[in-house]
Chain A
Amino acid sequence: MKNLLGVALGILAAIGGFVDIGDLVFNVQAGATFGYRLLWVVPVGVVGIIVYSEMCGRVAAVAERSVFDAIRERLGFSVGLGALVASQIVNFMTLAAEVGGLAIALQLLAGLEFHLLAAVAVLALGVVIWVLPFEWIERLFGYMGLCLLVFAVAAIKLHPDWSAVAEGFVPRTPPSDVLVYGYFVVGLLGAALTPYEVYFYSSGGIEEGWTPKDLGLNRANAIIGYALGGFLSLALMITAGALFLPNGIDPELLGTVALGAEVPLGTVGLVLALIGITFAVGGAAIDTCFSGAYNLAQFFGWEWGKNRPPATAPRFTIAWIVLLILALLVTMTGIDPVMLTEYAVIFSVVALPLTYLPLLLVANDRAYMGQHTNGRVANAFGFVYFVVILVVALTAIPLMVLTNQGQG
């Protein structure tokens, strides 16, 4: 019973931790631009992240390899280093966008000066990481991120045309601008398939000492956590489709997202939305910051881990501190986090095949996995999604350039 409670609590935290600034930006913009017509992309992306995470969790539990252990062993030093550099650039852009988003959400809540809040926020994140055990961090940010459920209430209160919502789950030829539509398909997939979540998840599995006995837990975590998290993405898109599209509002600012909860639910809705955004984005900042340090340490063979005293994994510790400070400096330049998010999501899609393929190969390798290699279902999904990821990676930048980032 206690175990069941633990799993339930973990899943709740995962739901709250699913949404990050990429999901906020792309789901809301997609809704504001195409209404409910792109809803079908969310489940496609969610199944993709489930496939990728389950595979990496299984490799962590059975072969005791993290993502970048497997990448270096499979691709060798040179190509592996290329994958590392690409991943680190994208990961850092995401981290900087999350920190910028955090500062904006705090500014809307507290009304103080932006630079001051950014500095305070980063200091607070640093102290939280230093002082709190992993589990508490995950729970704190996960539970508070559940405030985003206010968007589910908002979506219902806005009385969307439910038959149009239902039709949105079936892909159809777009009304007019095919390229902009394609850009949003790529962006929504990229926002759902955030690689840092997978790096973080698999490293966490190794830190917790998962064994093949934990494979059931791994599967349940990945499927239930991400599926329910995807529910929040749908709520965001429906809210935007019901409110922003008919009123011609272009959600270029992060604050506009919170408006989606304020209009139907008043100040309470606004405050809940802002608290939810603060913790969702703050939690994602911690995850990305750690992912960057995990990747470096695992590629170069340094000692790593959050569940050990920081001084026993010195380069790992210095790596996350430096990444956090650099992200603050980028935020201080006043760069627009929404724009930074769009670049981060699109570039992450481009880099994704480099980290996805080695894991797919290792998950199929008996020398690593013994009897726990990909089964028929996992392989069918694994290879179908590899093709999807390849197509998306090849079209992402052309679509971004041709549509002027979805502006048409």
Chain B
Amino acid sequence: MNRRREIDLGLGILDHQLVDVGGRRCGKVDDLELEGVADGPPTVSAILCGPPAWQGRGRLGRLAARLARGRLVRVPWTEVEEVKAGVELRRTARELRLGAGDERARSLIEWIPGAGG
């Protein structure tokens, strides 16, 4: 994020779509990690993605976190290129360990003729 622009973290970042450098959708901003809350103005240090991050997202979030499988992925804020319609990242989903669910699911259907890709 080079340009100076005010963003409301709650409405402008949280729950937004993550998009990797190749334009692939690879999860949502499930939670944010803040640093320096005790001393001075806090900064966003990382985006948290994956079912364990739903834990802190209200009653249904806690329930969903307990039911769903999947790891917590921490994406350092330095990996964020730009915030547009989605939060655009500097590297591929695979490098950041995002979108693992889609990669697992892929093997279930790629044998079907015409699945392509």
Contacts and interface: CB of A to CB of B under 8 A. Distances in A.
Given A73-B11, A77-B15, A311 B58 contact: no
Given A69-B17, A303-B102, A64 B117 contact: no
A301 B110 contact: no
Nearest to A365: B11
Main secondary structure of the interface of B (DSSP, over half): mixed
A304 B28 CA distance: 13
Contacts of A308: 117
Interface in A273-306: 297, 300-304
Given A72-B28, A77-B61, A80-B15, A312 B116 contact: yes
Interface in B58-117: 58-61, 64, 84-86, 99, 101-103, 105-106, 108-110, 112, 114-117
B15 to A, nearest CB: 5
Contacts of A72: 15, 28
A76 B58 contact: yes
A369 to B, nearest CB: 12
A72 B14 CA distance: 9
Contacts of A314: 102-103, 105-106, 108-110
Contact of B85 (A63, A78, A130, A131): A63
A171 interface: no
Contact of B60 (A81, A301, A303): A81
A191 to B, nearest CB: 30
Contacts of B54: 77
A127 B28 CA distance: 31
Given A311-B109, A315-B105, A78 B58 contact: yes
Interface residues of A, number: 34
Given A302-B102, A311-B115, A76 B110 contact: no
A313 interface: yes
A69 B28 CA distance: 10
Nearest to A76: B15
B52 interface: no
A318 B27 contact: no
A78 B63 CA distance: 10
B58 A77 contact: yes
B60 A315 contact: no
A130 B115 CA distance: 8
B10 to A, nearest CB: 8
A1 interface: no
Interface in A74-128: 74, 76-82
Contacts of B64: 77, 81
B46 interface: no
Nearest to B62: A78
B67 to A, nearest CB: 11
Interface string B22-34: 0011111010000
Contacts of A4: none
Nearest to B114: A130
Contact of B26 (A76, A301, A318, A321): A301
A78 B109 contact: no
Q: Which of A79, A81, A318 has the most CB of B within 10 A?
A: A81
A76 B115 CA distance: 34
B112 A310 contact: yes
A81 B51 CA distance: 13
A203 interface: no
Contacts of B60: 77-79, 81-82
A377 interface: no
A317 interface: yes
Nearest to A75: B15
A314 B16 CA distance: 21
21 contacts: A63-B85, A64-B85, A72-B15, A76-B15, A76-B58, A77-B54, A78-B58, A78-B59, A131-B114, A300-B28, A301-B18, A302-B99, A303-B25, A303-B26, A304-B25, A309-B116, A310-B109, A310-B114, A311-B116, A321-B109, A367-B8
Interface of A: 63-65, 69, 72-74, 76-82, 130-131, 297, 300-304, 308-315, 317-318, 321, 367
9 shortest A-B CB distances, which residue pairs? A78-B58, A309-B116, A301-B28, A64-B85, A314-B105, A77-B57, A311-B117, A309-B117, A312-B117
Interface of B: 8, 11-12, 14-18, 24-28, 30, 49, 54, 57-61, 64, 84-86, 99, 101-103, 105-106, 108-110, 112, 114-117
Given A77-B54, A317-B109, A367-B11, 18 more contacts: A69-B16, A69-B17, A73-B16, A76-B14, A77-B15, A77-B60, A78-B57, A78-B60, A130-B112, A130-B114, A297-B25, A301-B17, A301-B18, A301-B49, A309-B115, A311-B110, A311-B116, A315-B102
